[in-house]
Structure 1
Amino acid sequence: MDFRRLTYIVEVAKARSVTAAAHKLYISQPALSQVLAQVEAEVGVKLFDRRESPLRLTYAGELYVATAKEILASYETMKRRLADVAEGNEGKITLGLPVERSGYMLPEVLAKFQKTFPQVSLLLEEGGGKRILDLLENHDVDLVILPKSEESQEDKFQRRLIYPEEIFVLAQKPLPETQGKDYVEMKDLAAYPFILVKPGHAIRLRTDEIFRRSGVTPRILLETASNLTAAQMASRGLGLAIVPKRTIDVLAVKDQLQAYTIGINHETWDVDVIARKDHYFTRSEEYLIQLMQEEFSDVTL
Structure 2
Amino acid sequence: YKNGVNMDLNKLGYLLVISEEKSFSKAAKKLFISQPSLSQYVSNLETELGIKIFDRNKYPITLTSSGEVFIKNIKEMLNLKGKMLREINNYSIKNLNSLKIGISPFRSPYILPLILPEIKKFYPNIKLIIIEKTAKELEKLLEKEEIDIALMSLPLTKKNLNFIKFYTEETFLITPKNDYYSTLSIKNEISLKNLKTESFILPSKGIKIREKINSLFYNNHFFPQIYLEIETQETILSLIKIGLGIGFTSNMSLIHKDWKNDFYIFSLKEENIIRDFAIVYKKNRLLNEVENTLVEILLKIFKSEEFS
TM range (shorter): 0.5 to 0.7
Distance 1:170 1:300, change over 3 A: same
1:196-211 matched pairs, under 5 angstroms: 196-211=202-217
1:137-152 matched pairs, under 5 angstroms: 137-149=143-155, 152=156
Letter in 2 for 1:171: T
Distance 1:197 1:265, change over 3 A: closer
1:163-178 matched pairs, under 5 angstroms: 163-172=167-176, 173-174=178-179, 175-176=181-182, 178=184
1:27 aligns with none
Deviations 1:218-254 (A, max 9, x none): 2211101011111221112221111122222224664
Letter in 2 for 1:215: H
Q: State the alpha-carbon separation in 1 of the partners of residues 208 and 95 from structure 2.
A: 32
The CA deviation at 1:113 is 2.2
Distance 1:253 1:108, change over 3 A: closer
Distance 1:98 1:224, change over 3 A: same
Q: State the alpha-carbon separation in 2 of the partners of residues 111 and 291 from structure 1.
A: 10
RMSD between aligned residues: 2.6
Letter in 2 for 1:281: L
Deviations 1:22-77 (A, max 9, x none): xxxxxxxxxxxxxxxxxxxxxxxxxxxxxxxxxxxxxxxxxxxxxxxxxxxxxxxx
2:195 to 170, 189, 192: 189
The CA deviation at 1:180 is 4.0
Q: State the alpha-carbon separation in 1 of the partners of residues 184 and 128 from structure 2.
A: 45
Give yes or no for contact 2:151–2:278 (8 Å, CA) kept in 1.
yes
- The answer to whether residue 286 in structure 2 is matched with residue 280 in structure 1 is yes
1:39-54 matched pairs, under 5 angstroms: none
Q: Taking structure 2 as the reference length, what is the TM-score of the superposition?
A: 0.64
Letter in 1 for 2:206: G
The CA deviation at 1:87 is 6.4
Unaligned runs of 5+ in 2: 1-84
1:214 aligns with 220
Distance 1:176 1:116, change over 3 A: closer
Q: Secondary structure of the residue that 1:216 maps to in structure 2?
A: coil
Letter in 1 for 2:89: D
Q: Secondary structure of the residue that 2:287 maps to in structure 1?
A: coil
Deviations 1:72-91 (A, max 9, x none): xxxxxxxx988614162441
Give yes or no for contact 2:101–2:128 (8 Å, CA) kept in 1.
yes
- The answer to whether residue 168 in structure 2 is matched with residue 155 in structure 1 is no
Give yes or no for contact 1:228–1:251 (8 Å, CA) kept in 2.
no
Q: Secondary structure of the residue that 1:250 maps to in structure 2?
A: helix
- The answer to whether residue 115 in structure 2 is matched with residue 109 in structure 1 is yes
Q: State the alpha-carbon separation in 1 of the partners of residues 284 and 217 from structure 2.
A: 35
The CA deviation at 1:133 is 2.4
Q: Secondary structure of the residue that 1:255 maps to in structure 2?
A: helix
1:15 aligns with none
Give yes or no for contact 1:203–1:244 (8 Å, CA) kept in 2.
no
Give the 4+ runs in structure 1 shifted more than 6 A: none
Q: Which has more radius of gyration?
A: 2
2:241 to 235, 244, 255: 235
Q: Secondary structure of the residue that 1:135 maps to in structure 2?
A: helix
Q: State the alpha-carbon separation in 2 of the partners of residues 270 and 165 from structure 1.
A: 7
Identity over the aligned pairs, expressed in percent?
20
Distance 1:295 1:262, change over 3 A: same
2:135 aligns with 129
Q: State the alpha-carbon separation in 2 of the partners of residues 204 and 107 from structure 1.
A: 24
Q: Secondary structure of the residue that 1:141 maps to in structure 2?
A: coil
Distance 1:87 1:171, change over 3 A: same
Give yes or no for contact 2:139–2:158 (8 Å, CA) kept in 1.
no
Give yes or no for contact 1:261–1:267 (8 Å, CA) kept in 2.
no
Paired residues in the alignment total 220
2:297 aligns with 291
The CA deviation at 1:271 is 1.1
| More displaced 10-residue stretch of structure 1: 232-241 or 152-161 | 152-161
Unaligned runs of 5+ in 1: 1-79
Q: Secondary structure of the residue that 2:107 maps to in structure 1?
A: helix
Q: State the alpha-carbon separation in 2 of the partners of residues 192 and 142 from structure 1.
A: 42
The CA deviation at 1:197 is 0.7
Give yes or no for contact 1:165–1:270 (8 Å, CA) kept in 2.
yes
